[in-house]
């Protein structure tokens, strides 16, 4: 027959609190900015902006050269293209960006 050995309860379970071994739970941090400004570096948005900027630069160059008739034609076309391009790019940005 085996001899059993007894331990006092206070020796096994000390009353002093030990630091817990579990990691603290992560907390959710919320940003007041709904999207990152770096998201505007989308290649499609940059390409559309570059095309519109290029047309505006060409228009200014033609105006300096004195080709006013061609500049007026550019202005008529740009009155339609600029708002359509802006709103299309805005819709594209908000539909492809994941919040």
Q: What is the pLDDT of residues 33-50, one digit of tens each?
A: 566 667 667 788 788 888
Cα 58 to chain centroid distance, Å, stands at 32
**In the structure encoding, which two tokens stand for residue 54, read together?**
């290029």
54-78 pLDDT per residue, tens: 988 998 999 899 888 988 988 888 8
Which candidate, 96, 81, 79, 73, places its Cα nearest to that of 51? 81
Rounded to an integer, the average pLDDT of 11-36 is 66
Confidence label for 31 from pLDDT (cuts 50, 70 and 90) = low
Is the pLDDT at 27 greater than 70? The verdict is yes
């Amino acid at each position: 027959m085996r001899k059993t050995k007894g331990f006092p309860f206070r020796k096994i379970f000390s009353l002093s609190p030990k630091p817990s071994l579990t990691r603290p739970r992560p907390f959710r941090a919320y940003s007041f900015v709904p999207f990152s400004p770096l998201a505007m570096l989308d290649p499609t948005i940059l390409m559309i902006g570059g095309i519109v900027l290029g047309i505006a630069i060409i228009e200014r160059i033609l105006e300096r050269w004195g080709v006013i008739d061609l500049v007026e034609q550019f202005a008529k076309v740009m009155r339609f293209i600029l708002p359509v391009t802006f709103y299309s790019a805005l819709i594209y940005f908000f539909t492809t960006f994941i919040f």
